[in-house]
């Protein structure tokens, strides 16, 4: 899968994507990432990409032309119209279901805004979906884009070394992940639950499922309500 990131700070994107699991996936060819500097497409000799907003107001607005030309360059390179996502607090709240669905796409272009926003006309021209990672405002779209890339990449075959690790994590089936333990068996007078040492895999699976339900009910009652609604027919 290919990710294109339209940004004013490509080094911020590149530093994050060349490490850990995503860096390994890039080397293996499971996913690839390309940060495109929007400033490279401005016609202004000083590389300016923003201007004052019509109607007045505080701050600056990113101009349409550099963004449009940068996106067109992405589509030309890909050989087709690339699905474009704009990261904004006004967008749909991104979740695990979205990550799974987006992981099925051949490529995605993530548009990172800055300042007071982006000229609405270019958004209407190129953007397919609007996403947010939460009800708060960040300096720019780079951090949200990295969050989305990480979550989506984990759903791409070959990115995770353990084929099951993406299936048993938090938010699968609207449940949080069960508690995890490792060596030693005793730490600070706290014991690993005996069931995990029993070797009975069926009982371990049952315990983990029960713990997931209890943890979700305690920490995320909103998810627990969804879990109950979706499993009402199984009672």
Whole-number pLDDT of residue 164 = 42
With CA atoms as reference, report the closest residue to 87 among 34, 26, 149, 42: 149
Q: Read off the DSSP letter of residue 41.
A: G
The pTM assigned to this predicted structure is 0.87
- The string of pLDDT tens digits covering residues 149-174 is 999 999 998 888 764 465 556 677 88
Instruction: Annotate 72-104 with b (16+ C-beta within 10 A) or e (fewer).
Output: eebbeeeeeebbbbbbbeebeebebebbeebbe
Residue percentage of the chain with pLDDT more than 70: 95
Task: Look at the domain 2-153 and name its fold.
Answer: Alpha/beta knot (3.40.1280)
Is residue 200's pLDDT more than 90? yes
Distance between CA atoms of residues 213 and 206, nearest Å? 11
Judged by average pLDDT, the poorest of 17-31, 42-56, 91-105, 161-175 is 161-175
| Domain ranges within the chain, ordered by starting residue | 2-153, 186-234
Nearest CA-CA partner of 139 in 115, 111, 119, 120 = 115
pLDDT beyond 50 at 106 = yes
């Amino acid at each position: 899968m290919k990710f294109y990131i339209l940004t004013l700070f490509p080094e911020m994107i590149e530093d994050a994507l060349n490490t850990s699991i995503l860096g390994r996936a890039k080397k293996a060819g499971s996913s690839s990432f390309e940060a495109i500097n929007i400033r490279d497409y401005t016609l202004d000799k000083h590389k300016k990409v923003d201007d004052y907003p019509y109607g007045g107001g505080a701050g600056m607005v990113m101009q349409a032309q550099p963004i449009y030309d940068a996106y067109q360059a992405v589509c030309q390179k890909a050989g087709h119209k690339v699905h474009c996502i704009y990261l904004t607090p006004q967008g749909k709240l991104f979740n695990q279901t979205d990550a799974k669905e987006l992981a099925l796409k051949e490529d995605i272009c993530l548009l990172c805004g800055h300042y007071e926003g982006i000229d609405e006309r270019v958004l209407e021209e190129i953007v397919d979906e609007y996403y947010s990672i939460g009800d708060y405002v960040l300096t720019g779209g780079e951090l949200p884009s990295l969050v989305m890339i990480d979550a989506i990449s984990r759903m791409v075959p070959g990115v995770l070394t353990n084929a099951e690790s993406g299936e048993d994590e938090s938010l699968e089936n609207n449940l949080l992940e069960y508690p995890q333990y490792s060596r030693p068996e005793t730490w600070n007078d706290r014991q690993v639950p005996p069931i995990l040492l029993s070797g009975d895999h069926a009982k371990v699976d049952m315990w983990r499922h029960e713990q997931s339900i209890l943890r979700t009910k305690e920490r995320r009652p909103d998810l627990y309500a969804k879990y109950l609604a979706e499993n009402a027919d199984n009672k």
